Chains A and B, each alone.
Chain A
Amino acid sequence: MIVFDKVTFTYADAPSPTLVDLTFDMPEGELCLVVGATGSGKSTLLKCINGLVPHFTGGTMAGDVLVDGRSTRTDRPRDLVDVVGYVGQDPVAGFVTDSVEDELAYGMESLATAPPTMRKRVEETLDLLGLSDLRRRPLTTLSGGQQQRVAIGSVLTTHPRILVLDEPTSALDPQGAEEVLATLQRLVHDLGLTVVLAEHRLERVVQYADQVLLVPGGGRPVQLGAPADVMSRSPIAPPVVELGRLAGWSPLPLSVRDARRLAAPLRRRLSDNPAPARSEGQLGEPLATTRHLVVTYGATSAVRDVTWSVRRGEIVALMGRNGAGKSSLLKAMVGLVAPSGGTVDVAGLDPSRARASALIKAVGLVPQSPSDILYAESVAAECAQADSDVRAPAGTAEGLLAELAPEILADHHPGDLSEGQRLILALCVVLAAAPPLLLLDEPTRGLDYSAKHRLVAVLRRLVCGGQGVVMATHDVELVAEVATRVVVMAEGEVVADGPTADVVVSSPAFAPQVAKILAPLAWLTVSDVETALERTSS
């Protein structure tokens, strides 16, 4: 269905090609998962399929891409609309109209589809994607999962044979991701569509894939094959696969269900070991306290009567569905919103009244999109500005950056960095003031596994130095890896607060894969299991 024949592609002005000599043949009617680190060329590869590369992006391309027998050399993206539906990384950025129905019809209008056919297909698509209740809603009022489904629907109405999606669930909460993945499953199984998707959150999608395409990057050849096969060699793998490799299970399990069936011997071996306790002992004095905090926007209250505190030496994970009040709580703690009831006390300051320059010495927040606080033309200028903003000695931020991400060069433009590198840079900018309390809002959006590991290392170092960290996140694997305490919020209230293992192990939504496989034992991460196994064998 999709044939790449010796495809080599170089962006204009790039020193080396992004894709080198790719040759593979994706069969029809399968869900193919494209796996690779950030910057390995996954997005470029996906854009080749509908001709955005090279028609839209420019650059030099050798070889040929054939979709359904048509070459992207001659057919432009707009000519391939009836064969390939392409959904980009940010669905909101791709919306052309402002309501659900209009967005679904847009592609057909361009194809000059007859009005009765259009009407029929819009109704069919609304049903297929479960959007009929939302048909008149303005697109901006939809949740992330709903927006992603509308974006998928908008390319489905032209009846393409292939659907290409670039990280469809990266920015979604678990619930929204489930919606989208269930939809994709249905399209593959009921309609026989060929679906190609790239994704970082492998733990969410790998069990649904029929084929995995591993893009190692750096000019090495891609591998296309059965998921278990490719995953056994992949440098990037979800925890279930890592656990399977560690325990030597065969065939390699890809889902929690498969792994649980094979895990009985491992559970027996581990049952004698006490599950590792997270560092609970060396907690210091409270860094921030809220008492009966209420935050309201207009008539809706985002945070309702929250009383809690963060102490030195702990990493607190704030969890809960989108709109549960996590971000609002963080914003109240740095004074971005004023409380409408109760008090916030950060090192004796009231954040909504304190001067920014005084507050940054007590608490720092890295916002959801790190680029919001970056604006200089180079990394060096950014670091220098950060030092002068907080009156830190010159070179503080740059020194931090050299330790955390030495590969980021001083003359890089912040806009050219990868998502993970930009996060580290924003982190350094905030850390230049050495705030004892660091807040992170959704730090792992769009991060690959290696970037996540680096973030984990940074956070551990901070708490060892006596700082406190609070992060609002949907990423259960990150929480399992690094958090010492988990606070779950729902409808603006705290519904659970306790040590990580106590809160997440029994929860269907927040349990990491390892905990699900090894339940009722309270193990959270592959590395914990690995250390325990090494100890028992020696």
Chain B
Amino acid sequence: MRPVDSPTYARSLHPGAWWLWALGLAAAASRTVNPVLLALLVAVAGYVVMARRSRAPWAYAYGAFLRLGLVIIAVRIVLQALLSSQSQGIHVIVDLPEIPLPAWAAGLKLGGLVTWEAVLIAFSQGLQLATIICCIGAANALASAGRLLRTVPGALYEVGVAAVVSLTFAPQLVADAARVRAAQRLRGYDGRGVGGLRRTAMPVLEGALGRSVELAAAMDSHGYGRSSPVPGTTRRLTSALVLGGVLGVGIGLYGLLDAGVGGLFGLPILGLGVVLAAAGLVAGGRRTNRTRYRPDPWALPEWLVAGSGVACAAVMFVVAARYPAAAYPAYPLAVPSVPPLALVCMLVGLVPAFAAPPPPDRLPTATSPGSKRKGTHAEEIW
């Protein structure tokens, strides 16, 4: 057994494994609106993040995504309470004054009766979306999207770099906007609105444009874009393969995740798509002549983590098929039932908290005096 196969050998896990695990959890969440199961999934993701996150700035992303999830739930409930039509249940919480709407808005209402049923259903549905977002947040906290993109195959390298650059630009733009907004106050201007937006947008966009040009120059001076020539037929074949593959993966995933179509229809198309895309990437990879510095290995912990995500999703699919009453509770006021099989799904999802190696900068010896301070700084950013 190689050292990298040991779950106690400190190293950073392959980002692809973390994303597969997180997407598995998200897929599981997409198959139920049972609030108990969804809350358990959020807890599982949160526990793994706490156990295995590093000290990098992105490791604090989970909190931000969790807050975003709470906002989504709140918005969902408020909209449901104010706008939903009346056939929602009999347990009334409050009777709001109803505002009559014109004839073209038939089916909508504003105000009126707010029932417990309506609120709880809205809560469950909001929680489902919030859970999916938390899973993505967990992936971001454990392996930033930037790190994931570094592992893209050679054929997609240029696209990957473009994506990485845009990812670093987004937080930069937010920081710039805050700075410029503050600076505009220095001109003695208290106003907001359209004029204020223009005042902020102009310097921010100009700055971003200037930085892009400088970055392009720097990348050119670093040897970016050295490629070997390939014949036109190979290029066209590659494009066709990749396009067909992406299409297949898209349709396949839709088939798998959309409960109405039925999972068995999606699976073969997904498989075909993956094969096509892989062939296209291999063909396209010949064009770029690059090597990779210290690639993350794919060893036993990666298999376990990725497998845990896939298994979690698979078990939840079975739960949804076998216990539809538990996955989609019909009566929102009753305490939802939780089949034991669903608990197995949660336990499987927890595996990475023990199977994934601890990140190297979490070891006591590696804590530098500066890292603590930087941590709080990062928190501010997120």
Residues of A within 8 A of B (CB): 50, 52, 55-56, 76-79, 81, 84-86, 88-90, 93-98, 101-102, 105-115, 118-119, 122, 133, 136-138, 140-141, 154-155, 158, 297-300, 334-336, 355-357, 359-361, 364-367, 371-376, 386, 389-390, 415, 429-430, 433
Q: Is the CB of B179 within 8 A of A372?
A: yes
* Residue among B179, B199, B292, B361 making CB contact with A136, cutoff 8 Å: B361
Whole-angstrom CA separation of A401 from B215 in the bound complex: 34
Q: Is B258 at the interface (CB under 8 A from chain A)?
A: no
Q: Is the CB of A389 within 8 A of B203?
A: no
Which partner residue on chain A sits nearest B185 by CB separation?
Answer: A356
Whole-angstrom CA separation of A300 from B379 in the bound complex: 13
Whole-angstrom CA separation of A37 from B56 in the bound complex: 42
Whole-angstrom CA separation of A367 from B218 in the bound complex: 27
Separation in Å of the A39 CB from the closest CB of chain B? 17
Q: Is B57 at the interface (CB under 8 A from chain A)?
A: yes
Whole-angstrom CA separation of A95 from B211 in the bound complex: 10
Q: Is B86 at the interface (CB under 8 A from chain A)?
A: no
Q: Is the CB of B293 within 8 A of A102?
A: yes
Whole-angstrom CA separation of A224 from B87 in the bound complex: 88
Which partner residue on chain A sits nearest B216 by CB separation?
Answer: A56
Residues of B within 8 A of A (CB): 56-57, 144, 146, 150, 161, 164-165, 168, 179-180, 182-190, 198-199, 202-203, 206-207, 210-211, 214-226, 289-294, 360-361, 368, 370, 373-374, 376-380
Separation in Å of the A534 CB from the closest CB of chain B? 42
Q: Is the CB of A367 within 8 A of B183?
A: yes
Q: Is the CB of A110 within 8 A of B215?
A: no
Instruction: Decide: A158 near B223, CB < 8 A? Known: A105-B293, A297-B380, A389-B189.
Output: yes
Separation in Å of the A316 CB from the closest CB of chain B? 19
Q: Is the CB of A93 within 8 A of B203?
A: no
Whole-angstrom CA separation of A119 from B377 in the bound complex: 31
Q: Is the CB of B292 within 8 A of A115?
A: yes
Instruction: Decide: A154 near B222, CB < 8 A? Known: A373-B186, A390-B187, A415-B206.
Output: yes
Return chain A residues, CB-CB under 8 Å to B222.
78, 81, 96, 106-107, 110, 154-155
Q: Is the CB of B188 within 8 A of A359?
A: yes
Main secondary structure of the interface of B (DSSP, over half): helix
Separation in Å of the A360 CB from the closest CB of chain B? 3
Return chain A residues, CB-CB under 8 Å to B189.
356-357, 389
Q: Is the CB of A298 within 8 A of B379?
A: yes
Instruction: Decide: A375 near B190, CB < 8 A? Known: A96-B218, A110-B224, A122-B293.
Output: no
A-B pairs, top 3 by smallest CB distance, nearest first, are A360-B188, A94-B218, A105-B293
Return chain B residues, CB-CB under 8 Å to A355.
190
Instruction: Decide: A336 near B185, CB < 8 A? Known: A77-B220, A136-B361.
Output: yes
Q: Is the CB of A98 within 8 A of B146?
A: yes
Q: Is the CB of A300 within 8 A of B373?
A: yes
A-B contact pairs, 21 of them (CB 8 A): A52-B220, A52-B221, A55-B220, A77-B217, A81-B226, A88-B221, A94-B218, A102-B293, A109-B290, A109-B292, A115-B293, A118-B291, A137-B374, A141-B374, A155-B221, A298-B379, A360-B188, A371-B206, A375-B198, A389-B188, A433-B188
Q: Is the CB of B214 within 8 A of A375?
A: no
Q: Is the CB of B221 within 8 A of A112?
A: no
Instruction: Decide: A88 near B199, CB < 8 A? Known: A138-B56, A355-B190, A415-B206.
Output: no
Return chain A residues, CB-CB under 8 Å to B225.
78, 110
Whole-angstrom CA separation of A9 from B146 in the bound complex: 39
* Residue among B57, B183, B219, B289 making CB contact with A140, cutoff 8 Å: B57
Instruction: Decide: A88 near B220, CB < 8 A? Known: A78-B225, A109-B292, A298-B377.
Output: no
Return chain B residues, CB-CB under 8 Å to A133.
368
Q: Is the CB of A386 within 8 A of B187?
A: yes
Q: Is the CB of A78 within 8 A of B190?
A: no
Add 16 more A-B contacts to A50-B221, A138-B374 (CB < 8 A).
A78-B220, A78-B226, A89-B214, A93-B218, A94-B217, A96-B215, A97-B146, A109-B292, A110-B223, A111-B223, A138-B56, A141-B57, A364-B186, A372-B179, A373-B184, A373-B187
Return chain A residues, CB-CB under 8 Å to B150.
97, 102
Return chain B residues, CB-CB under 8 Å to A101.
293-294
* Residue among B164, B186, B214 making CB contact with A365, cutoff 8 Å: B186
Q: Is the CB of A367 within 8 A of B187?
A: no
* Residue among A136, A335, A433 making CB contact with B360, cutoff 8 Å: A136
Whole-angstrom CA separation of A55 from B217 in the bound complex: 10
Return chain B residues, CB-CB under 8 Å to A415.
206
Q: Is the CB of B202 within 8 A of A375?
A: yes
Q: Is the CB of B377 within 8 A of A334?
A: no
Q: Is the CB of B291 within 8 A of A115?
A: yes
Separation in Å of the B198 CB from the closest CB of chain A? 7
Return chain A residues, CB-CB under 8 Å to B370.
141
Q: Is the CB of B376 within 8 A of A299?
A: yes
Which of B57, B168, B186, B190 has the most C-beta atoms of chain A within 10 angstroms of its own C-beta?
B186
Return chain B residues, CB-CB under 8 Å to A138.
56-57, 374
Whole-angstrom CA separation of A79 from B202 in the bound complex: 36
Return chain A residues, CB-CB under 8 Å to B211.
90, 93
Which of A94, A95, A105, A372 has the most C-beta atoms of chain B within 10 angstroms of its own C-beta?
A372
Whole-angstrom CA separation of A537 from B329 in the bound complex: 102
Q: Is the CB of A111 within 8 A of B188?
A: no
Return chain B residues, CB-CB under 8 Å to A300.
373, 376
Whole-angstrom CA separation of A78 from B221 in the bound complex: 5
Separation in Å of the B221 CB from the closest CB of chain A? 4
Q: Is the CB of B215 within 8 A of A78?
A: no
Q: Is the CB of B226 within 8 A of A79?
A: yes
Q: Is the CB of B290 within 8 A of A298?
A: no
Return chain B residues, CB-CB under 8 Å to A375.
198-199, 202-203
Whole-angstrom CA separation of A18 from B207 in the bound complex: 24
* Residue among B165, B182, B190, B293 making CB contact with A336, cutoff 8 Å: B182
Q: Is the CB of B190 within 8 A of A356?
A: yes
Q: Is the CB of A371 within 8 A of B374?
A: no
Which partner residue on chain B sits nearest A108 by CB separation?
Answer: B293
Instruction: Decide: A109 near B218, CB < 8 A? Known: A298-B380, A360-B187, A375-B199.
Output: no
Instruction: Decide: A52 near B217, CB < 8 A? Known: A389-B187, A389-B189, A430-B186.
Output: yes
Whole-angstrom CA separation of A79 from B224 in the bound complex: 9
Separation in Å of the A111 CB from the closest CB of chain B? 6
